[in-house]
Amino acid sequence: MQKIIFCGGGSGGHVLPALTLIQKIKQQSNDVEILYIGGFKSIEKELVQAQNISYRAIHTGKLRRYLSLENLKDMLNVVRGFFDALFILKRENKSNSLIVFSTGGFVSVPVVLAARLLRIPIFIHEQTSRVGLANKIASRFANKIFISFKASANYFPSHKVIYSGYPLRDECYDQKIRHPHFKNIDLQTPAKPILFVTGGGNGAKLINDFIARNLSTLAQHFTIIHQVGKSFIDQFEPLASNDYLPCAFVGPEMIDLFKASKIVLSRSGAGTVCELLALQKPSIFIPLKIAQKNEQYHNAKEAQLQLSSVIVEEDQMLDDQILLNAILNFNSQKIFSSEITSDSNEKASELILKYLSQFRS
């Protein structure tokens, strides 16, 4: 039986493409065993176990490009994680039928290094248009590197790169709303246009604070659904009303919220950008300024070029009126042709799985 170990985490953006591929594998084959390696307390543990996927935890340490005393402690955790991963891979590779698939994030580096030592085939997927440090390290040892954006090819050895696109869920390619209600809000016939706000699964204080300051104005025009993050939900629940619904986390309803919304206001992680591109949904993006190599800004630029999405940078948010005007003036009916289509969705999933199948024992 073929075994595939997936790894990647630290944020939902690294986990979701892996979960999409795992779902596709399960649909296509009954003779593939899946195991996910992640951190003890990272977001991937919760997301993976919710899908009833076997999970093994290792020690992890964050990789930084700057000097910090935390680097010493985290480097020790990376070393511990390497031996954790080495033990798991040795145990799982008894029949030499194992391959490793990494979607990046600092949790993936010990797994990739251990796989290299054991001569286990390694595949990685880069979600962003600018490569992260973990995948930059992993690329040295990978057999093949799949990329979501063509611009990413500049960061990897050309003979390893395969432009696959981003593995998206099937519901990104139709207009059907699978969850017609979100909490108490009718997504198909809302009382007012829906403004969906998200700073990602962990929330974004900058965006949250903007919504809190301007809630009365926005509520005059929209029904607001706001993913605030678990750390902020206690602060925002008292503000709930018929026009404003704060929630800690959005699960499988996320794509339906994208479809139903008149305006999506969000960070610009690769997964979010690619999903909105597939849905042909122009949006307002606030890129995370401290992201490595300003990757979220470059992701948002892809959406701006293809769909005329709007970018409001963090520095501009010193003046609430800039973002407020962008929301109130936003014309979501400006739909342009996207590079990502249902054909590329098939390419993203099917092409990756085709390469993986070449390593079946």
Looking at the structure, tell me whether residues 191 and 243 fall in a common domain: yes
Looking at the structure, tell me whether residues 103 and 217 fall in a common domain: no
Q: What is the pLDDT of residue 61?
A: 77
Exposed/middle/buried for 190, CB within 10 Å: 0-12, 13-18, 19+?
A: middle
Looking at the structure, tell me whether residues 62 and 142 fall in a common domain: yes
Looking at the structure, tell me whether residues 183 and 202 fall in a common domain: yes
pTM: 0.79
| Cβ-defined contacts of 63-69 (< 8 Å, 24+) | 63/106, 63/109, 63/133, 63/134, 63/137, 65/133, 65/292
Looking at the structure, tell me whether residues 121 and 218 fall in a common domain: no
Residues 68 and 219: their CA atoms lie apart, in Å, by: 43
pLDDT by position in tens, the chain (length 361)? 789 999 998 877 889 899 999 998 988 888 889 999 999 988 899 899 999 999 999 998 776 555 566 667 778 888 999 999 999 999 999 877 899 999 999 899 999 999 999 999 999 999 988 888 889 999 999 999 999 988 899 999 999 999 998 998 888 888 899 999 999 999 999 999 999 999 987 889 999 999 999 999 999 999 999 999 999 999 999 999 999 999 998 988 999 999 999 999 999 988 899 999 989 898 999 999 887 678 899 999 989 988 889 999 999 999 999 999 999 998 545 444 344 344 444 557 777 877 777 765 4
* CATH code: domain of residue 109: 3.40.50.2000
Looking at the structure, tell me whether residues 202 and 292 fall in a common domain: yes
Looking at the structure, tell me whether residues 289 and 202 fall in a common domain: yes
Looking at the structure, tell me whether residues 13 and 159 fall in a common domain: yes
The two beta strands, 181-182 and 185-186, are: antiparallel
Looking at the structure, tell me whether residues 153 and 71 fall in a common domain: yes
Q: Residue 94 CA to chain centroid, in angstroms?
A: 32
Instruction: Judge contact between 101 and 356, C-beta under 8 A.
Output: yes
**What is the total count of domains within the chain?**
2
Strand partners, 32: 2
Strand partners, 255: none
Residues 348 and 149: their CA atoms lie apart, in Å, by: 11
Looking at the structure, tell me whether residues 163 and 188 fall in a common domain: no
Looking at the structure, tell me whether residues 131 and 178 fall in a common domain: no
Looking at the structure, tell me whether residues 114 and 253 fall in a common domain: no
Tell me the residue range of the domain where 94 lies: 2-168+343-357
Q: What is the pLDDT of residue 313?
A: 97
